[in-house]
Homo-oligomer: A and B are copies of this chain.
Amino acid sequence: NIRNLAMEKVASNVKFPCKHSGYGCTASLVYTEKTEHEETCECRPYLCPCPGASCKWQGPLDLVMQHLMMSHKSITTLQGEDIVFLATDINLPGAVDWVMMQSCFGHHFMLVLEKQEKYDGHQQFFAIVQLIGSRKEAENFVYRLELNGNRRRLTWEAMPRSIHEGVASAIHNSDCLVFDTSIAQLFADNGNLGINVTISLV
């Protein structure tokens, strides 16, 4: 079946432009490499960083903060590199997200606490910080999340995620601060949980 093989050879050499060419990408790719490139393309638009994926906004990085201020007005912002992220009513049933913004070092960070049942009958909390910025910019920072109380302390330190990557895969891989409901009870006060958040330059 010589003819089909020849056709395949032609197809595998045809190059297509990246679908984000409208955002400035000049790459052209053979079919087999196209999908992978587009998923991580540096020119791909930024998605709205709010967890839950209910907002469908997308656009360039320099419009993300404007979008958050216009469309997600209820999100609190605190100034400073060392703040307390207070999550209220952590005993609410079901999957719940808590979100706030932290501004320091001339950048904006989004703090996310997510409660979900990744394994049947086992509710867990996932806390993570993402930079409203590129992955390259994120590499300049480290964040620390700390639960404190009752002669116990639980601390997680890592590089913030970029909102270009998002937090879903990190939460899926437990690459964040993870704790279950009994630990949450140890640190919570009256159903409210304070998480100390510190951002530093590396």
Say whether, besides A178-B179, A178-B180, A179-B174, A155 and B153 are in contact (CB < 8 Å). yes
Q: Contact at B158–A155, with CB atoms within 8 Å?
A: no
A154 proximity list for chain B (CB < 8 A): 155-157
Closest CB-CB distance, A173 to chain B, in whole Å?
5
A152 proximity list for chain B (CB < 8 A): 156-159, 175
Closest CB-CB distance, A128 to chain B, in whole Å?
12
Indicate if A94 sits at the interface (CB-CB under 8 A). no
Give Cα distance in the complex from A152 to B154, angstroms: 14
Number of copies: 2
Which residues of A from 155 to 179 have beta carbons under 8 Å from B? 155-159, 173-175, 178-179
A159 proximity list for chain B (CB < 8 A): 151-152
Indicate if A56 sits at the interface (CB-CB under 8 A). no
Say whether, besides A119-B119, A154-B155, A155-B155, A174 and B178 are in contact (CB < 8 Å). no
Indicate if A183 sits at the interface (CB-CB under 8 A). yes
Give Cα distance in the complex from A174 to B155, angstroms: 15
A151 proximity list for chain B (CB < 8 A): 142, 158-159
Report 23 cross-chain contacts, Cβ distance below 8 Å, ordered by A residue: A118-B122, A119-B120, A119-B121, A120-B121, A122-B122, A142-B151, A152-B157, A152-B158, A152-B159, A152-B175, A153-B156, A153-B157, A153-B158, A154-B156, A155-B156, A174-B179, A174-B180, A174-B183, A175-B182, A175-B183, A175-B186, A178-B178, A178-B180
